[in-house]
Amino acid sequence: MVDTELSIRPMSGLPEFSQLGWGHWFTLRDLQVATNRFSKDNIIGDGGYGVVYQGHLINGTPVAVKKLLNNPGQADKDFRVEVEAIGHVRHKNLVRLLGYCMEGTQRMLVYEYVNNGNLEQWLHGGMRQHGYLTWEARMKILLGTAKALAYLHEAIEPKVVHRDIKSSNILIDNNFNAKLSDFGLAKLLGAGKSYITTRVMGTFGYVAPEYANSGLLNEKSDVYSFGVVLLEAITGRDPVDHGRPENEVNLVEWLKTMVARRRSEEVVDPMIETRPSTSALKRGLLTALRCVDPDADKRPKMSQVVRMLESEEYPMPRQDRRHRRGGAGEGESQMENSDTDRNENPDTKQ
Ligand SMILES: Nc1ncnc2c1ncn2[C@@H]1O[C@H](COP(=O)(O)OP(=O)(O)O)[C@@H](O)[C@H]1O
Ligand SMILES: [Mg+2]
């Protein structure tokens, strides 16, 4: 069987009888075989939802098997309903769920294996032997992530709030396409669980203020976290880095200060060999700053974020903006009040 066939039909050659509507119901035995009996050597991660193993199905398809934390409160039927809901969600920038396993108290999810690391590794040295991402690669990855989120929030019913957007959940394929992982998992495990709370605290730098303060959560919390990841990709800095001077520990706060002081050219990750144009940098920074607005209602929708990142005309050049005054969309009128405007035209007072 050739590799390309497996990537298009990862289940080919496997017995038909165990297939359900969208995917595959694996036995514990199938997954033991796939992961060399859940060998320690196959562990590729240990996150808030459980342990992740790398493995191969008997037809050769590479997979990631996520062994969920035991959740005895959940009935088999509920689990199946939730997993099937996630399984039906398909998008080129979402990691594909191939199937699941439910035996005794064991709950596992089987995903396609995405083999080029995750954004966290690429940005913070885990892929150093492969070099560093260019500006263009970073923006392609962030645009793909934005499209996946726009799809989850706006194109499907019921909508899916991811709840754990962070760079290690953005996997990367050989063509540097983003593949967002772990969507729907928070819901699957139930939001009231204490480990969910612990996990949220663990990824503090990404969490929207209203979520951190009151547990209030909707898709605008994902927009905030997306903004943090965008800033992380532009600067190469961690969202919270205690190794830095006090005023630089919190990435969002530091960025706001730098932009207000007209020093945005200085924030670009020094590892990026070919610097972005001023307008591309401005586009990225202003999009990110709108996403991390402390007021959730003022944050853009993800479909607007996609348009901002794709538009050569965002932010609109100053001379064009005057003609459009009055007719300007929400985004553009906000741009007029933006601090970075002053950055390029230090002599112009707003
Ligand atoms: N489908 C997949 N293909 C390849 N690697 C994956 C896949 N899913 C998860 N991983 C890797 O497993 C690791 C742990 O994942 P996870 O348990 O979700 O922890 P995290 O909190 O870091 O996201 C991550 O580094 C991620 O890159
Ligand atoms: Mg993850």
Nearest CA to ligand 1 atom 2: 113
State pLDDT tens for residues 192-248: 443 444 344 436 789 898 887 777 778 999 999 999 999 999 999 999 999 999 999
Q: Are 61 and 14 in a shared domain?
A: yes
Note whether residue 344 is domain-resident.
no
Query: Can you give the C-alpha Rg of the chain in angstroms?
Result: 22
CATH number of residue 27's parent domain: 3.30.200.20
How close is the Cα of 187 to the center of ligand 2, in Å? 14
Q: How many domains does the chain have?
A: 2
Ligand 1 neighbour 114 (Cβ under 6 A): yes
Ligand 1 neighbour 118 (Cβ under 6 A): yes
* Res. 253 pLDDT band, cuts 50 70 90: very high
Q: Which residues contact 111 (CB under 8 A, 6 or more apart)?
A: 63, 64, 65, 66, 95, 96, 97, 98, 181
Q: Are 42 and 148 in a shared domain?
A: no
* Res. 30 pLDDT band, cuts 50 70 90: very high
Question: What is the pLDDT at residue 189?
Answer: 59
Residue 29: C-alpha distances to residues 25, 26, 102 (Å): 12, 8, 11
Domain closes at, from 112, 140, 163: 112
Ligand 1 neighbour 48 (Cβ under 6 A): yes
Q: Are 142 and 83 in a shared domain?
A: no
Residue 82: C-alpha distances to residues 86, 100, 156 (Å): 6, 11, 15
Of 12-16, 201-205, 264-268, 343-347, least confident by mean pLDDT is: 343-347
Q: Are 125 and 85 in a shared domain?
A: no
Note whether residue 348 is domain-resident.
no
How close is the Cα of 22 to the center of ligand 2, in Å? 22
d(CA 290, CA 298): 8
% of the chain exceeding 70 in pLDDT:
80
| Ligand closest to CA 50 | 1
Q: Are 137 and 96 in a shared domain?
A: no
Please tell me whether the peptide bond between 158 and the residue prior to it is cis, using omega within 30 degrees of 0: yes
Q: Are 102 and 189 in a shared domain?
A: no
Q: Are 249 and 318 in a shared domain?
A: yes
pLDDT of 191 over the 50 cut: no
Question: What is the pLDDT at residue 141?
Answer: 98
Ligand 1 neighbour 30 (Cβ under 6 A): no
Q: Are 288 and 201 in a shared domain?
A: yes
* Res. 22 pLDDT band, cuts 50 70 90: low
Nearest CA to ligand 1 atom 17: 47
Domain closes at, from 85, 112, 139: 112
Q: Are 92 and 182 in a shared domain?
A: no
- Owning domain of residue 274: 119-336
* Res. 190 pLDDT band, cuts 50 70 90: low
Q: Are 108 and 196 in a shared domain?
A: no
Average pLDDT, the chain: 84
Domain closes at, from 48, 79, 112: 112
Note whether residue 349 is domain-resident.
no
Query: Is 67 annotated for ligand binding?
Result: yes
Residue 19: C-alpha distances to residues 12, 25, 26 (Å): 11, 6, 9
How close is the Cα of 210 to the center of ligand 1, in Å? 27
CATH number of residue 275's parent domain: 1.10.510.10
Note whether residue 346 is domain-resident.
no
Note whether residue 83 is domain-resident.
yes
DSSP calls for 163-193? S---GGGEEE-TT--EEE--TTHHHHH-TT-
Q: Are 107 and 125 in a shared domain?
A: no
Note whether residue 309 is domain-resident.
yes
Q: Are 129 and 197 in a shared domain?
A: yes
